[in-house]
Structure 1
Amino acid sequence: MDQIISWFADNQDLIVSYVIKFVVAILILIVGRMVANSAAKFLGRGMTRKGVDGAVISFLSAIVKSVIFIAAILMALSQVGVQTTSFIAILGAAGLAIGLSLQGSLANMASGVLIITFRPFRAGEYVEAGGVSGTVQEVNIFQTILKTPDNKVVFVPNAQITGQPITNYSREATRRVDLLIGVSYDADLKKTKEVLESVLKADERLLKDPAWNIQVNALNDSSVDFIVRPWVNAADYWPVYWDLMREIKIALDEHDIGIPYPQMDVHLHKQTSQN
């Protein structure tokens, strides 16, 4: 007993030093946990205000919370004299191995976060993304679900979507209908333009502003091509497109304006043989 008391008396400064370091390490853990929780909540509230998906919010909040708390643990261990260099090396190697094995999934996850954050499209919009055209049903962390016009459900990896151009057909309220109408070289171009204008004037779905445009676009091998470009509400695009194609054909036939098709003239030359 006397030896123990004597040892404590001789090492009093060392014991006090270790006790202080231990208390500081505990305080670092407590403060680190508080900071991690606060940072995760702050991030969650900010992303919620921006309308980010709940699954993405919880996932990113958990990552931020874990990173901060791990940093606090390493600081606490360093405070009590534990060499943390080896721990950092092990964590780095483990992170690299996990990243290499899951690089496809991580790429899809990162792309999903970008899609949900920047919102190039939303549920219910018709888009062309990742080589697939369809109506957006749902955007998940790893994939986007599209429904094609023929009622097929396509699961497109998010990395494939962000790696290619995205065309959103529903974002704007209006769209331009682009028609290319070819008539024969014998047609009266002035009369043809009047016929095309009469068809457009008869359709009340066409917008007056912006005004439509009808012009001769090209002189091809077999036809004179007109561009017909009216503007419509986005929801009326396909009905107007189909109706105009039908009505233009009917109107051109009624005015005897021919719609040519590719053809080839073959000329035969008879040669007489001389004896």
Structure 2
Amino acid sequence: MDLFDSLGDNSEVVTAFFLTHAMSVIGAIIILIAGYIIAGWAGKRVKDATSKSGKFDDTLVPVLSQTTRVVILVITFLLVLGQFGVQTASIIAVLGAAGLAVGLALQGTLSNVAAGMMLLILRPFKVGDAVNVAGTFGIVDEVRLFTTEMHSFDNIGITMPNSRVWGQEIQNLSKFENRRVDMEFGISYRDDMDKAIALIKEVLDADERVMAEPEPLIAVSELGDSSVMIRVRPWTETKNVWPLRYHITKSIKEKFDSNGVSIPFPQRDVHLFKKN
């Protein structure tokens, strides 16, 4: 009989224990779900607000959104631990010590974060700019905490670690409104140089995309092995650089052909000597 009495008493203790912790578990689950939902909602709201305000660069928008979401999730995690009586102050101290250890072990990864912050602060480029980073050409899609996302001109995705982007020479092809188009054309030594220059000038004057100021440069640049090289350097709006280059190259070739100016190609004369 005493055995059953002791079991009855223990069952009440066990029941009370489960009820107490069941409420903590339920509360933790509710906090976790609510925190997850609020983090997603807040991140989306920050992204929408910053993108529509016009006061924030497009490069900063995804980072601000991600940071807001992470901060809310961290707070949610601490609140969940508090449901089980865990002292959050000690947890923060432990996380700080663990963060230091992890930081020492992941120096390369953290260098990407530091480089990403420098890219966001100094902003050598923004979303949508065409850039050349260490010989890699592409259009910037997004700057994340660890990587910079781009796509090439033929629409191939490019993911570069931020440390590599920041540690290399960055050429921003879209930074200025106007750019110079550098071209060279060769003519035969038998042709009239002044005539060729006049024909090139006619082609440039006929194209509205060529800017009057600064004045286009048309000059003899080199006396090559088989041709006289004429350097052509018109200025145009940045968006017109490649269309103008293609059009001018075709138009000058057609202009030369119709006016008797030849474009030589490399050739070799072979002389045979017959021995007696």
| Same topology, TM > 0.5 | yes
Moved beyond 4 Å, runs of 4+: 48-54, 56-59, 94-97
SS of the residue 2:132 aligns to: strand
C-alpha separation between the residues in 2 aligned to 1:222 and 1:160? Answer: 43
**Which residue of structure 1 lines up, in the alignment, with residue 124 of structure 2?**
120
In the TM superposition, what are the counterparts of 1:236-255 in structure 2 within 5 Å? 236-255=240-259
Which whole-Å deviations, capped at 9, do the CAs of 1:139-196 have from their partners, x for residues lacking one? 1111111111111111111111111111111110001010011111111111110111
C-alpha separation between the residues in 2 aligned to 1:264 and 1:221? Answer: 11
Q: Relative to 1, partners in 2 of residues 1:99 and 1:131: Cα closer, same or farther, differing over 3 Å?
A: farther
Identity of aligned residues (%): 39
Larger Rg: 1
Residue 54 of structure 1: how far off its partner (Å): 6.5
Residue 131 of structure 1: how far off its partner (Å): 3.3
**Which residue of structure 2 lines up, in the alignment, with residue 80 of structure 1?**
none
C-alpha separation between the residues in 1 aligned to 2:192 and 2:149? Answer: 50
**Which residue of structure 2 lines up, in the alignment, with residue 207 of structure 1?**
211
**2:169 paired with 1:161:** no
SS of the residue 1:227 aligns to: strand
**2:187 paired with 1:179:** no
Q: Relative to 1, partners in 2 of residues 1:252 and 1:54: Cα closer, same or farther, differing over 3 Å?
A: closer
> Structure 2 regions of 5+ residues with no counterpart?
1-49, 72-92
**2:272 paired with 1:268:** yes
**2:146 paired with 1:135:** no
How many residues are paired up?
A: 197
Report the TM-score, using the length of structure 1 for normalisation.
0.66
Residue 256 of structure 1: how far off its partner (Å): 1.3
Residue 134 of structure 1: how far off its partner (Å): 1.2
C-alpha separation between the residues in 2 aligned to 1:223 and 1:261? Answer: 8
**Which residue of structure 2 lines up, in the alignment, with residue 197 of structure 1?**
201
C-alpha separation between the residues in 1 aligned to 2:115 and 2:242? Answer: 31
**Which residue of structure 2 lines up, in the alignment, with residue 218 of structure 1?**
222
Report the TM-score, using the length of structure 2 for normalisation.
0.65
> Structure 1 regions of 5+ residues with no counterpart?
1-47, 63-86
Contact kept? 2:62, 2:144, Cα under 8 Å: no
Contact kept? 1:56, 1:113, Cα under 8 Å: no
**Which residue of structure 2 lines up, in the alignment, with residue 231 of structure 1?**
235
Residue 228 of structure 1: how far off its partner (Å): 0.3
